[in-house]
Amino acid sequence: MAKASFAKNTFYTLVRMIVGIVISLVTTILIARLLGPEGQGLYSLIILLPSMLLTFMNLGIGVSTAYYVGKDEVDLHTVYKTNILSNIILTILSIIIGVIFVLFFREQFLGGAPVLLLLLALSNVPFLLLNQSLQGIFQGKQDFESFNVTLIIGHIIKLIAVIFLLVVFDLGLNGAIYSYVISNIIVYILTIYLLNKKHGARYKLGTFSIELFKKTIVYGLKSHLSNIATFLNYRAALLLLAFFINPIAVGIYVAAVNVAERLWVVSQAISSVLFPKITSLTDEDSRNKITSILSRNILFLSIIFGFALFVLSDLAITILYGQKYEEAGLVLMLLIPGIILGSNSKVLSNDIAGRGMPEINMYISILNLVINVVLNIIFIPKYGLSGSAIATTIAYGFDFFAKIIMFKRITHLPYREFLIITKEDIQLYIKYLKKMTKKIKLKTN
């Protein structure tokens, strides 16, 4: 199967992410409005538990799968079977750890959420682990059509489930958790179906490869520790807010984060396509050129959209979530500078990992996590929600400066090459806008 072009993959992934963002934003708004700040906070803490286990226990298998499949170094059937069996073992360990956490730390870090709902959320761990590892095959094959379809369907199923279970049947927090569980199971079923249909992946034709498992873990752990630190940078604030304040504060903070992270749509789309692309390239100049163009344009667009969102922060929160979440407006404003810098970091991180040096991201992310957690512990008791947002933005800023310094050392490119928009870039924007304007005029006439 011929691999689609980088531009085409990026375009379709971007479209998928925009559609996904619209659908997921509608879903989060419904959940937030129907549950209120406290219910939203409890919901976020409950689903945070399986998300944490997924992050801690996946061992970077999905990233490694994309890396080795992208290099055509492994048999597809063997990858398929090895990933499934590996994740069964990881699932058992994850659920044991999850149950222990529920029994001993539910009150301190999970807002005293109902035990049954926490255990129900834990039941999703096997599907989350398998989804992540198996979708690495789609990325390695550069089959972003299948990769995108599974994620879009997941968003749609969750929205439909929320409408029925929360709006129609008024099941409250229970309904929100049921929706979360159902959507992940459907994504898993669809992933298996597409792997079988489009790539002919067959469990029976593969063998469990100890060698592949070892290679996967060796490479994956480098990315894995980085991903753990990155995830905790994004979500440590929720646990600390629940610990120092209450679930209401978590709900308000999540509302701000849900809006702020929409600025990452372009960088996330490009980054997911960039990793296998950089992995498959052998020409250093081509790698540098692609990443430099993407990096500076992502930063430029993020600044523009970030400034617009900063100005409209209070209005955006009020319109989307209602007066109950008005405190989230200030939190959103404080998060935006960090989110802007984080958009560029995502592109550079995937370039560095694609060059086979994920350990660099790991070292930066671990140090960044320490800074984030320490600042949150200092700032939350003093400044509450605003303190957490300031701590997070400072951490994102550190991550940005560390990544650009390391990227420069690796590529020997001047900073302006991958940070400052060029005259040629501006001309392309103008050309594109003129083309779009001309099309609109022709349609109206």
Q: What is the pLDDT along the chain (445 residues), one digit of tens a residue?
A: 444 555 666 666 667 777 877 898 899 999 999 999 999 999 999 999 999 999 899 988 988 898 888 777 788 999 999 999 999 999 999 999 999 999 999 999 999 999 999 999 999 999 999 999 999 899 888 887 888 889 899 999 999 999 999 999 999 999 999 999 999 999 999 999 999 999 999 999 999 999 989 988 887 886 777 778 878 877 889 999 999 999 999 999 999 999 998 888 766 666 555 555 565 566 788 788 888 888 898 898 889 989 999 999 999 999 999 999 999 999 999 999 999 998 888 889 878 877 878 788 888 988 999 999 999 999 999 999 999 999 999 999 999 999 999 999 999 999 999 999 998 888 877 887 787 787 777 766 6
User: ∠ CA 148-280-141 to the nearest 5 degrees?
Assistant: 35
Residue 29 identity (one-letter amino acid): I
pLDDT at site 1: 41
Q: What is the pLDDT of residue 437?
A: 80
Q: What is the signed CA dihedral for 12, 17, 20, 22, rounded to 10 degrees? A: -110
Distance CA 306, CA 287 (A): 28
Q: How many CA atoms lie within 13 A of 25 on its CB side?
A: 20
- Provide the pLDDT for residue 269: 62
What angle do the packed helices 247-260 and 6-57 form, to 10 degrees? 160
Q: In sequence order, which ranges of 71-143 are alpha helices (DSSP H)?
A: 76-109, 115-122, 125-140
DSSP 76-88: HHHHHHHHHHHHH
pLDDT at res. 2: 41
φ/ψ region of 421 (left if φ > 0, alpha if ψ in -120 to 50, else beta) reads beta
> 206-218: buried (b, 16+ CB within 10 Å) or exposed (e) per residue?
beebeebbebbbe
User: Is the distance from CB of 287 to CB of 281 less than 8 angstroms?
Assistant: yes
413-417 long-range CB contacts below 8 Å, 24 or more apart?
Answer: 413/288, 413/292, 417/292, 417/296
The tokens of 5 are what?
């072009």
pLDDT for the residue 358 = 77
**8 Å CB contact between 258 and 391:** no
User: What pTM value is reported for the model?
Assistant: 0.81
The residues, any chain, with a CB within 8 Å of residue 214's CB and separated by 6 or more, are none
